[in-house]
Chain A
Amino acid sequence: MPNRRVAIQQLLLIWAGAALLPSCMQNEQKVSIPLKLIHITPADENMLAELTETILPKTDTPGAKDILAHLFVLKMVDDCATKKDQEKYMEGMKAFQEYVYRRTDKTFVENSPAERNAIVAKMNLNKSADDAISFFYQGTRGLTIEAYTTCEYYLTKIRGYKMIPGKFQGCVPIKTV
């Protein structure tokens, strides 16, 4: 009988392992959109979502996360950046996370919103194009703003975008809009 017990245990182990293995691998790949050339983890995606949200936080208007700005950032880097820029961006993403961890002993996401603000404020001062961290941050910032200012919410609710032949007014005081 012990043999049978061992056999069943082994079988169970294999079965559990087989069930566990794909789910582990799936976790590794569970990024919200398919990416062709760049590779990120769900943790990277989450970090990027919080970073864009720190750049454009939710107030009485939606924030960057509400309009999925981080997915636009990823899509643009994956589809529209040169290979060289993709490499630099990914290098910068890694370096940025390491920098935050070195400085705060926490990941970006583990930092409080106020602490994240402080990190972003510091990032805004560094505009060096050679520096990978700055390249990653400034690229993310630019694409976040682009995502926001071209999204349906912003154009229809904030800017009052009207299809042609909506009247074109070249210059009106903001208060009257």
Chain B
Amino acid sequence: MGNLNDGVKSRTFDAIVIGSGMSGGWAAKELCEKGLKTLVLERGRDVVHMKDYPTTNMQPWEFEHRLDVPQAIKDANPVVSKCYNFREDAMQFFVKDQEHPYVQEKPFDWIRGYQVGGKSLLWARQTQRWSDFDYEGPARDGFSVDWPIRYKDIAPWYSHVEKFAGISGNKDGLAVLPDGEFLPPLELSCVENYFKDFISKNYSDRHVIYARCAH
């Protein structure tokens, strides 16, 4: 009977996280770090570094269609092929339309990735902080329910995440895009530099910056 009790104990958790995507993965990490015994449930397969990234080490010219998606695959996947990232190098991480069809009463593109990490394997790594212009927006313009928080409440959490993930960018000092804990960004290209200069000469209220981006 002792064994049975051990079994119950080993199957009892302080927290259960459903889904290991961007939110679930973070939640599980935070809970574990706070000492909670955490169970993560993920419907998809495991993705082992290197082994399960079949395209990572491919050279650009090795892609048969140079990242384009063959028309037959687009025709079979009208929803998921709308996603900008549904390309020859990442298609394998998306749920195909026929695998899990759903009813659309109103148009809704449900882009899904069933694997450990979920869609965090499939994002463009853009990480702009919201400002109070955003948090006050619904109340100010009356288009939706007021946010229960303001920028000052979330700012430390932005920092918390940025320090862990590694976010690159410049401290641009813009009220609409608050600065954060940034690593040095890559350089702008010649054309981007030209565009930035041109805009700054002609507009005082428009800014061309290097977007804040996760490494």
Contact = CB atoms under 8 A, between A and B. Distances in A.
A171 interface: yes
A168 B68 contact: no
Given A155-B60, A168-B187, A170-B187, A150 B193 contact: no
Interface string B116-158: 0000000000000000000000000000000000000000000
B189 interface: yes
A170 B192 contact: yes
Interface in B164-202: 186-190, 192-193
A80 B186 contact: no
B79 interface: no
A171 B190 contact: yes
Given A168-B187, A170-B186, A170-B189, A80 B70 contact: yes
Main secondary structure of the interface of B (DSSP, over half): loop
Given A80-B71, A170-B188, 16 more contacts: A76-B68, A79-B64, A79-B65, A79-B70, A79-B71, A80-B68, A83-B71, A152-B61, A155-B60, A168-B186, A168-B187, A170-B189, A170-B193, A171-B188, A171-B190, A171-B193
13 contacts: A75-B65, A76-B65, A80-B69, A80-B70, A81-B71, A150-B60, A150-B61, A152-B61, A155-B61, A169-B187, A170-B188, A171-B187, A171-B193
